[in-house]
Amino acid sequence: MPPDASATPEFLHSTCPHDCPSTCALEVERLAAGRVGKVRGAKDNPYTAGVICAKVARYAERVHHPERLTTPLRRKGEKGAGGSNTGDAFEAISWEAALDAVAEAFLKAEQRLGAETVWPYFYAGTMGHVQRDGIERLRHVKRYARQWSTICTALPEAGWLAGVGLKAGVDAREIEHSDLVVVWGGNPVSTQVNVMTHIAKARKARGAKLAVVDPYRTGTAAQADLHLMVKPGTDGALAAAVIHLLLRQGAADRDYLAKYTDWNGEIEAHFADTTPAWAEAITGVPAAEIEAFARLYGATKRSYIRVGYGFARARNGAANLHAVSCLPAVTGAWQVEGGGALWGNGAIYRLDKTLIEGLDRLDPSVRAFDQSRFGPVLTGDPKDLQGGPPVTAILVQNTNPAAVCPETKRCLAGLARADLFACVHEQFMTETAALADIVLPATTFLEHDDYYTASGHTFLQAAKAVIAPLPECRSNHEVICALAKRLGARHPGFEMTAWELVEATFAASGHPPAETVWQDRWLDCAAPFEQAHFLDGFPQPGGRFRFHADWAKAGRDHAGMPALPGHWTRWDQADAARPFRLVAAPARSYLNTTFTETPGSQKREGRPEIMIHPQTCAKLGVEAGGRVRVGNDLGSLVIHARPFDGVQPGVVVVESIWPNGAFEEGLGINALVSAEAGQPRGGAVFHDTAVWIEAL
């Protein structure tokens, strides 16, 4: 819906669309029909509580950025040219000509090799369901190659479901009633600031303690009462040692285990040897620190674990997350207010997305590609192609795989293929767009309608456009519908506006009318206490939490996965040739590659740097700011060193995702990350990389 053209400054409500669990409720100052000013958190939303991250607070510098794309572009130069200077590589064309060119290329590809040669590719540049997921409707109606969306949630979700059975947990608002908050494998200071708001409330009102488990001293860990600095990929060993100590200390809730879990003698015997000394040898965390944490956790019934994503982004990540999810089941913390755990709340919203995604036209027999293996797919890896034709046409929305996906070299090589037609619908000339044949200018969330859910809280939000779109920019929904018409794709969803899809989806899902939700600003979908704490049983066989994981149920690639929680050694282990373990963690001022174009974020981040323990720097002969080459079998890159004592000596950290072009040789950190899929059902292993380092 177009916004009111009034020029009187006013604050209108909206929702942050970015790839973050918080999905903050916003208040946006509209200065004119096409211009915004301040962006702030909604104070009356009990989760957002008036607090948002600095990068979104500065959103005016992004939506009004002078380098926003403002006209459709057609390639006139060779692939690889472009960047921010589009004059040499592209020429401006009309929307009609651009859409006609895309449709013609897709139809020719389909006629030559079949529909599965076309691969619509997307992810979470916007988390609005209409604008993000409408590309699926085009895919299903046209029978284009499907996408297995693994890059963010496949690994942690498999681990959480193995124990709990449902993507749901204890409402994050209960943190303020906790006496101990454990942030495991996340850094909310940088990536989910609202969690810190609720932790601060608990610390002030109750004297709550904060414990953090993370491979380096993040902004969150720096505020903690206890920081367990584990080696990457060893979280399962730490969790198993804590369970060993809880049993030894008599802190296990035997009645709860008998009533609500599958606990038995075999499981108890499994933990007999997972001692603190055993875990210290694996994790690098001193046994005394493990014992101190176990005493604190075991003595604190109101203990809340905020389970993050980071530690699950490893080959053994699903198994590690399952192990961590077992802790509140041992102590029975699920039973009390402020106790239990949360990974995500995606299952609570009960949405029927048939119209949006075209689920009535979904054919499971159409081959699906693992999105995390973008490079191998585009370079024709036989395993990925599954005996079918190569991908010769792609449509990219909401993501920047040239920088975001593993194995950057293969991603760039695939995009540069002369026989690949690529259309990229984007807000800026990203490194993916610079390799496209057609580039289409996209709206931001402030310029279109949508609705939003969150994994970090319980509010369903509907949002209308705050300002008029930048001239020539069109929404994802508009582009998908325009292409569908040219491609002969028929479905009711293509005939509806974005807001009509919101209205129809809410109605089909049994929610109040979209207009009501919009006027009320949000709808709280929180489950009752007993359900959220699984006091009516877990959604597992017999209603019991499962220590014994059924990995075959989680995914077909389950061979070799451990049935019981502990340390699983399937990872990229350091060796003499590659003695360091690399963590590619999120930078505070970037969100994937979003905000890498804004002056405020660029100023804060400075330049790409690798954090190396001072002892390691001394051995390598590296000084602060010195250039080093970091590499493995996939390639190497040059980066500046930052001595940092907040890591173990064998661990190095690069906060990213910086564009490839920010690095000296044009290759970013994901050039070193393998596209090997995590078990049991895929997933990118961004924090599971062994590397060598040499001083330059």
- If asked whether residues 39 and 84 sit together in one domain, one would say no
- If asked whether residues 263 and 325 sit together in one domain, one would say yes
pLDDT at 86: 55
Q: Which backbone phi and psi does 19 adopt, to 5 degrees?
A: -75, 75
Q: What is the CATH number of the domain that holds 54?
A: 2.20.25.90
3-state secondary structure of 31: strand
- If asked whether residues 394 and 539 sit together in one domain, one would say no
Whether the CB-CB separation of 294 and 660 falls below 8 Å is answered with: no
Q: What is the mean pLDDT of residues 430-442?
A: 97
pLDDT at 32: 85
Q: Which of 465, 394, 480 is nearest to 147 (CA)?
A: 394
Establish if 591 belongs to a structural domain: yes
Q: Output the pTM of the full model.
A: 0.96
pLDDT of 633 over the 50 cut: yes
Q: Which of 507, 524, 541 lies at the terminal end of a domain, its last residue?
A: 524
pLDDT of 542 over the 50 cut: yes
Establish if 567 belongs to a structural domain: no
Q: What is the mean pLDDT of residues 204-229?
A: 97
pLDDT of 155 over the 80 cut: yes
Q: What is the CATH number of the domain that holds 224?
A: 3.40.228.10
pLDDT at 81: 46
Answer with the residue of higher pLDDT: 8 or 573. Answer: 573
Contacts of 555 (CB under 8 A, 6+ apart): 158, 679, 680, 681, 682
Establish if 202 belongs to a structural domain: yes
pLDDT at 78: 81
- If asked whether residues 389 and 509 sit together in one domain, one would say yes
Contacts of 8 (CB under 8 A, 6+ apart): none
- If asked whether residues 490 and 623 sit together in one domain, one would say no
Rama region for 372: left / alpha / beta (φ>0; ψ in -120 to 50; rest) = alpha
- If asked whether residues 223 and 117 sit together in one domain, one would say no
Q: What is the CATH number of the domain that holds 605?
A: 2.40.40.20
Residue numbers of the domain that contains 253? 156-346+530-554
- If asked whether residues 408 and 514 sit together in one domain, one would say yes
- If asked whether residues 304 and 435 sit together in one domain, one would say no
Strand partners, 83: none
pLDDT of 79 over the 90 cut: no
- If asked whether residues 418 and 326 sit together in one domain, one would say no
Q: What pLDDT digit, counting tens, does each position of 119-129 carry?
A: 999 999 999 99
Q: Which of 63, 81, 100 lies at the terminal end of a domain, its last residue?
A: 63
Count of domains forming the chain: 4
Q: What pLDDT digit, counting tens, does each position of 634-679 carry?
A: 999 999 999 999 999 999 999 989 999 999 999 999 999 999 999 9
Q: Which of 524, 544, 570 lies at the terminal end of a domain, its last residue?
A: 524
Q: Of all residues in the chain, what percent carry a pLDDT higher than 90?
A: 96
| CA–CA distance, 144 with 167 (Å, rounded to integer) | 29
pLDDT at 273: 97
| CA–CA distance, 409 with 692 (Å, rounded to integer) | 18
How many Cβ atoms from other residues are within 10 Å of residue 528's Cβ?
9
Q: What is the mean pLDDT of residues 378-390?
A: 98
Establish if 568 belongs to a structural domain: no
One-letter identity of residue 585: A
pLDDT of 7 over the 80 cut: no
Establish if 259 belongs to a structural domain: yes
| CA–CA distance, 381 with 401 (Å, rounded to integer) | 17
pLDDT of 193 over the 70 cut: yes
One-letter identity of residue 178: S
pLDDT at 83: 45
| CA–CA distance, 679 with 314 (Å, rounded to integer) | 9
- If asked whether residues 547 and 660 sit together in one domain, one would say no
pLDDT at 8: 77
Q: What pLDDT digit, counting tens, does each position of 280-330 carry?
A: 999 999 999 999 999 999 999 999 999 999 999 999 999 999 999 999 999
Q: Which of 495, 497, 479, 396 is nearest to 437 (CA)?
A: 396
Establish if 360 belongs to a structural domain: no
Q: What is the mean pLDDT of residues 434-462?
A: 97
Q: What is the mean pLDDT of residues 495-501?
A: 98
Whether the CB-CB separation of 51 and 91 falls below 8 Å is answered with: no
Mean pLDDT computed over every residue of the chain? 96
Establish if 661 belongs to a structural domain: yes
Whether the CB-CB separation of 376 and 675 falls below 8 Å is answered with: yes
488 band by pLDDT with thresholds 50, 70 and 90: very high
Q: Of all residues in the chain, what percent carry a pLDDT higher than 70?
A: 98
Strand partners, 74: 91, 438
75 band by pLDDT with thresholds 50, 70 and 90: very high
618 band by pLDDT with thresholds 50, 70 and 90: very high
Q: What is the mean pLDDT of residues 393-397?
A: 98
- If asked whether residues 542 and 505 sit together in one domain, one would say no
pLDDT at 88: 80
Q: What is the CATH number of the domain that holds 437?
A: 3.40.50.740
Q: Which of 182, 291, 175 is nearest to 244 (CA)?
A: 291
- If asked whether residues 534 and 516 sit together in one domain, one would say no
> What is the distance of C-alpha 163 from the center of its chain?
21
87 band by pLDDT with thresholds 50, 70 and 90: low
Establish if 357 belongs to a structural domain: no
Residue 474 DSSP one-character state: B
3 band by pLDDT with thresholds 50, 70 and 90: low
